[in-house]
Amino acid sequence: MIRLHTNFSGTVQGVGFRFTVKRIANGYEVTGFVRNLPDRCVEVVAEGDREVVKSFIDAICNSTLCDYIRNMEKEWQPATGEYKEFKIEF
């Protein structure tokens, strides 16, 4: 199990980004969250099998959201197991 911490920048707030990420997450065995940050970025933290998490992030980047993403910063970390589901944090 692994954790991927990702920050997306661009026009990623006010376009349904969090709700689309949540919908995409429903198709993968990942836990974690998506939330808006004060600097107008969107943060995604996902835990699961490394290949599943990678496929989940690839699905985000290959979705309708790709037009809004200017940059993506990724950091792989050890999983903590603290999440029980994938949710939108407000």
Catalytic-residue membership of 36: yes
What local confidence, expressed as pLDDT, does residue 14 receive? 95
Strand ranges of the sheet holding 69-78, from the earlier edge strand across to the other edge: 69-78, 2-10, 42-48, 31-36, 86-88
Point out the catalytic residue in the list 3, 23, 26, 36.
36
Q: Is 40 a catalytic residue?
A: no
Q: Which residues contact 11 (CB under 8 A, 6 or more apart)?
A: 68, 70
- Sign of the dihedral defined by the CA atoms of residues 18, 9, 67, 72, in that order: negative
- Tens digit of each residue's pLDDT (9 = 90 or more) over 10-57: 999 999 999 999 999 999 999 999 999 999 999 999 999 999 999 999
Q: How confident is the model at residue 75 (pLDDT cuts 50, 70, 90)?
A: very high
| CA 22/CA 77 separation, integer angstroms | 21
Is the pTM here over 0.85, yes or no?
Answer: yes
Domains of the chain, CATH where assigned:
2-88 (3.30.70.100)
pLDDT on residue 59: 98
Cα–Cα distance between 36 and 81 in angstroms, integer? 22
Q: Which of 3, 7, 18, 23 is the catalytic position?
A: 18
- Residue 58 CB contacts under 8 Å (≥ 6 apart), including other chains: none
8 with 74: CB under 8 angstroms? Answer: no
Average of per-residue pLDDT across 63-68: 96
> pLDDT value at position 4?
98
